[in-house]
Structure 1
Amino acid sequence: MIRSRDDVWVRAEDASVIGSLRHSAAALAQTRGFSEKEIGRMAVAVSEAASNLVKHAVEGVMLVRPHPELNSAVEVIALDRGPGMQNVSRALRDGYSTAGTLGIGLGGIARMADGCDIHSLPGRGTVIALYFVARDAPAPPSLVSGLTRPIGEEIVCGDAFAIAGTGATTTVMLCDGLGHGDAAAHASNEAVRVFTENPGLAPATALERIHRSLSGTRGGAVAVATVERESRTVTFAGLGNVSGWIVHPDGRQGMVSVPGIAGSRAPSSLRQYEYTLPPHSMVVLHSDGLSERWDITSYPGLVTRPPSVLAATLLRDAGTRRDDACVVTVRTET
């Protein structure tokens, strides 16, 4: 069972943040059982990635957090709105650099990480997702990811998510607590609690329980989706303005969410809907802290990348600073 934490995105605008990010990564790695050698290797990679953001990125930010799929791993995500890279493979070569890109040291960063994926488009910016694994633990399966970001300069995010299962079946829940701040976070955290205590329920049943449980809170918009990889289906139940999408290289298909507020107003009977999953697709849920006006076809190759890269790209490009934001992405094939 995976549940969201308050992701702390650090702006990489000044060299002073490099040491702070390195220290945060090392401290987290120590709690996850990394050896001193593994901690040192990760610290160098994080320092280099942060330094590249400070020197070359536009609106660069970095996230260091426990990996969402493996207890013995640390995930690092760096993203920016800079000029991007025309040729990522070339940028990974040792000694390559181009002013204004993240090319400096990229090959070394990739080698020091246990996993590295990069998506970059000229004029759009770059997303780098790294992970580091302790003591020869198995590599993360990269089947699901979720990211949150609070409104403006707030520390607490009123949106939250939870994930159950990273095998043949994955169920995800996203709650957008009404408003923002502590009251919104209380509602979304209550939704996470109910979901994690009942991980095997059908989406409509889980949504109904969350609806009843939120009656003593501010309430929120909630969606639950179950991806069945063997049957290639997704079952979705939504209440309120959480967006649910099936995305594939040729476009996207919306999933039905009914009007209402979990904990306050809902139809007498909540329904769930089943959809067939096309090849090479992902399921995406996001709160209204992300605009719906994103076009997956304008990101060549993005659907084939790890869920964390898709989530970070959508958060960067569709997210609004005028609201809490949350996005969950689920790969539909192993």
Structure 2
Amino acid sequence: MTRVWDVPVHDSTRVRDVRVAAEAAAERTGLSRDRTAAAALVATELATNLLKHGGGGRIVLDIVDADLELHGVGRGPALQIAAIDHGPGIADLASASRDGFSTTASLGAGLGTCRRIADHFEVHSVPGRGTVALARVHAARRDRAGHRVPGSDAAVRAGGINIPLAAADHSGDAWACVRAGDHVTLLLADGLGHGEAAAKASGAAVEQLRLSAHLPPAELLGQLHRGLRDTRGAAVAVARLDLATEHLDFAGIGNIGARLLTGDTWRPLLSHPGIVGAHRPGRLPQCRVPWTPDSLLVLHSDGLPSRWAPPAVAPPTAWDPAVTAAVIVRDSSSAARPVRDDTTVAVLAPTPQDRRP
């Protein structure tokens, strides 16, 4: 089941809550004592920055696959820490990311510290719209000398953000991305309802994906339909990218949204009515579209408004996919109008050339 720690940060008392949540999440991720301390420090610094510079916000901690760049070598889980705010933004991000820089009477160690000790760290900020800071601390990404393991040579990478309704312990949504040979499959499942029973259904969909990632989307949904019969059922969308032929196959059942960006144009990919595990359409067509070096795929559960707007600042293909997902969630909500359901956004994007070894 998908366990997520969602901690609102609107006063100084919540900074301790963030640290406690980070330590609990790190233990569940299987981090060593040193990496747990690093994760707790990153989460604390980001929570402190939310109060100092963002006017408050939220810290979302989630356990994700460390192998988000899909090179096929298992490297264990990672703890993902996202700080999201609707504050004034950071006018000079390059300066703010350096140790010693501060616009307040502090030591200025926040973002620089996070960048130095996290295995991955990225910040996206737009003045007047807010900031997303995202870090990942890996359970097994360093060699015996303590050096970071080089990145992937894969042409694509995946990422996502999962926010449970009302800061619940479990999200009824789940997403995963798995590579099998030249095929990369991104799945998003939304279990019916909320809480642990919904999380059980979406979690079962993810487990089935890991067993059947070689199947095309329509066939995989057939497997999922049989595998989810003992659960509440779920809405599920599946997209499979063929790296060799550069095309994307898509099929979905239920209210999972999907949009594909190619160049400057967004197009919807349509799912069909039904509930995986309870009511499957008699015929499930599978659509095929080209995948280009500037393509980007977004899948989202119905916690996100159906008329969400793409990120206002281009190009999102250059960002970490999880940052893109968090920006979409941030910009579709507000401090006065929070998310209205379990809300998950999963993104598949090309890997920038400068991130390939």
Q: Which range, TM-score by smaller chain?
A: 0.7 to 0.9
Q: Report matched runs for 1:127-276 at 5 Å.
A: 127-133=132-138, 134=140, 135=142, 136-138=147-149, 141=152, 143-165=157-179, 168-248=182-262, 250-276=264-290
In the other structure, the counterpart of 2:82 is 77
2:95 aligns with 90
Runs of 5+ consecutive residues of structure 1 not aligned to the other structure: none
Q: 1:255 to 1:183 in 2, by over 3 A?
A: same
- Report the CA distance between 1:150 and its aligned residue: 1.8
Give the conservation status (yes or no) of the 8 Å contact 1:151–1:324: yes
- Correspondences of 1:112-123 after superposition (within 5 Å): 112-123=117-128
SS at match of 1:296: coil
Shift in Å at residue 149 of structure 1?
1.7
- Report if aligned partners of 1:72, 1:137 keep a CA contact under 8 Å in 2: no
Shift of 1:248: 4.7
Cα 1:167/1:24, change in 2 over 3 Å: farther
Worse-superposed segment, 256-265 or 74-83: 256-265
- For residues 180 and 209 of structure 2, what CA distance do their matches in structure 1 show? 16
Corresponding position: 1:64 with 2:61 = yes
Q: Tell me, yes or no, if the aligned pair for 1:251 and 1:297 is still in contact at 8 Å.
A: no
CA RMSD after TM alignment: 2.8
The question of whether the paired residues in 2 share the 8 Å contact of 1:64 and 1:76 is answered with yes
2:73 aligned residue? none
Q: Secondary structure at the match of 2:80?
A: strand
Output one character per residue of 1:271-314: Cα deviation in whole Å (capped at 9) or x when no partner. 21111123222211111111132332513333310111011112
CA contact (8 A) 1:69 1:144 kept: no
Match of 1:5 in 2: 2
Q: Where does structure 1 differ by over 4 angstroms across 4 or more consecutive aligned residues?
A: 26-31, 38-42, 139-142
Paired with 1:125 and 1:67, the residues of 2 have a C-alpha distance of 24
Q: TM-score, normalised by structure 2?
A: 0.80
Equivalent residue pairs, number: 327
1:285 to 280, 290, 299: 299
Equivalent residue of 1:303, what SS?
Answer: helix
| 1:15 match | 12
AA in 1 matched with 2:136? Y
Aligned to 2:4, the other structure's residue is in SS state coil
Q: Residue 173 of structure 1 aligns to a residue in which SS? A: strand
The separation in 1 between residues aligned to 2:181 and 2:47, in whole angstroms, is 33
Normalising by structure 1, report the TM-score: 0.85
**Quick check: 2:2–2:203 contact (8 Å CA) kept in 1?**
no
State whether structure 2 residue 129 is matched by structure 1 residue 124.
yes
Q: In structure 1, which of residues 309, 326, 330 is the aligned counterpart of residue 348 of structure 2?
A: 330
Q: What amino acid does structure 2 have at the position aligned with 1:8?
A: W
Query: Equivalent residue of 1:328, what SS?
Result: strand
- Cα 1:91–1:166 change in 2 (3 A) is farther
Query: Separation in 2 of the partners of 1:41 and 1:235?
Result: 40
Residue type at the aligned position of 1:331: A
Partners of 2:100 and 2:148 in 1: how far apart? 31
1:6-45 alignment, distance < 5 Å: 6-26=3-23, 29=26, 32=30, 34=32, 36=34, 38-45=35-42
CA contact (8 A) 1:150 1:323 kept: yes
- C-alpha separation between the residues in 1 aligned to 2:186 and 2:192? 20
> Is residue 108 of structure 1 aligned with residue 113 of structure 2?
yes
Question: Higher mean Cα deviation, 273-282 or 120-129?
Answer: 273-282
Distance in 2, Cα, partners of 1:40 & 1:218: 38
Deviations, residues 149-170 of structure 1 (Å, cap 9, x unaligned):
2222433322222321288532
Task: Kindly indicate whether the alpha-carbon contact (under 8 Å) linking 1:232 and 1:332 is maintained by their aligned counterparts in 2.
Answer: no
The one-character-per-residue Cα deviations of 1:74-133 (angstroms, maximum 9, x if unpaired) are 33211111111223113223443346xxx8732333223332211111111101111234
Structure 1's 76 and 167: CA in aligned 2 closer, same or farther, altered over 3 A? Answer: farther
Aligned mates of 1:167, 1:26 — CA distance in 2: 36
Structure 2 spans left out of the alignment, 5+ residues? 68-75, 353-357
Native 8 Å contact 2:311 2:324 kept in 1: no
